[in-house]
Amino acid sequence: MKGLLSVSFGTSYADTRAKTIDAIDAKLAAAFPERAFYSAWTSPRIMAKVLAERGEHHDSLDEAFARLDADGVDDLVVATMCLMQGGEMRKISEAAHAWAAQEGHTVRLADPLLTAPADHAAMAQALADEFVHVPATEAVVFMGHGSAMGSNQLYSDVQDALHAIGKRNFLVATVEGTPTLDDAMHELESLGSDRVWLAPLMIVAGDHARNDLAGDGEESWTNRLAVRGFETEVVLKGLGEYAAVQKLAVDHARDAKEI
């Protein structure tokens, strides 16, 4: 039996989940009608919170693979919403390899969404199209997560891809890696932009977007920029809402490599 497993980090925010994770899941299911659809989340904390608050259960990786076994799936494509080769992608890869090691199992695993230069270019174009209304006298700063376990180079690669298509006023920074907001503020001062748009470079507009980016605390990006004299405009829209990013997830699933 053929199956498709879509894996995301998960989110406790139902509104952004419907527009991002659920939207990508729907596109994946439609793209592989010959495969039974399954989904899993990688964050135990988020799964426990959603279960406690709303009574919603979402399979962990272990539960999803057990469900695949129970249903008799032996030919599997694993799709991911991870942007990079970090800790979450490592969990997915290890679980997929363990399941693939069982006799009679065939598994193809998709790469993270920002793996190759073509991915960076596609993301840059998607961001440029989304913020096409922003004039050259203003700027956009995208908040990536960053990772201590993976390469943060992709964030600079996406920024370079933006600059390559003429969006010199579009910058990328991270919460937990490099480049930092301080790096972006240095660039903003060089650009001379007084008005700055802020948006997440993450699949969902969850805790980081609502607190670290747009929160009331003095360390939020919007308040740190305000202290430096910048006028800010926050757009709480996860990447998963972008049609181009949904297509990227489907394309990567179609190009998944056997393990």
Can you give the pLDDT at residue 140? 98
3-state SS assignment for residue 184: helix
Q: What is the DSSP letter of 209?
A: I
CA–CA dist 51, 138 (Å, integer): 42
Each residue's pLDDT tens digit in the chain (259 positions)? Answer: 999 999 999 999 999 999 999 999 999 999 999 999 999 999 999 999 999 999 999 999 999 999 999 999 999 999 999 999 988 999 999 999 999 999 999 999 999 999 999 999 999 999 999 999 999 999 999 999 987 665 789 999 999 999 999 999 999 999 988 899 999 999 999 999 999 999 999 999 988 999 999 998 999 999 999 999 999 999 999 999 999 999 999 999 999 999 9
Report phi then psi at 105, rounded to 5. -100, 135
244 and 250 Cβ atoms separated by less than 8 Å: no
Q: What is the DSSP letter of 112?
A: P
CA–CA dist 64, 152 (Å, integer): 29
Domain segments of the chain: what residues? 2-113+242-258, 117-239
Give the β-pairing of 106-109 and 257-258. antiparallel
**Sign, CA torsion 153/157/158/162:** positive
- How far does the chain reach from its first CA to its final CA, in angstroms? 18
Question: Which residues are known catalytic residues?
Answer: 145
Which residue, among 87, 64, 86, 81, has the nearest Cα to 10 in the 3D structure? 81
Model pTM?
A: 0.95
Average per-residue pLDDT in the chain? 96
- One-character DSSP codes across 156-174: HHHHHHHHHTT-TTEEEEE
- Six-digit token pair at 47? 């799964």
Query: What's the CATH number for 117-239?
Result: 3.40.50.1400
CATH class assigned to 2-113+242-258: alpha beta
222 and 234 Cβ atoms separated by less than 8 Å: yes
CA–CA dist 57, 167 (Å, integer): 42
Give the list of residues 6+ apart from residue 190 with CB closer than 8 angstroms, or none: none
- Bridge partners of 182? none
pLDDT in tens, 185-241: 999 999 999 999 999 999 999 889 999 999 989 999 999 999 999 999 999 999 999
Query: pLDDT above 90 covers what percent of the chain?
Result: 93
Can you give the pLDDT at residue 149? 61
3-state SS assignment for residue 196: strand
2-113+242-258 against 117-239: fold identical: yes
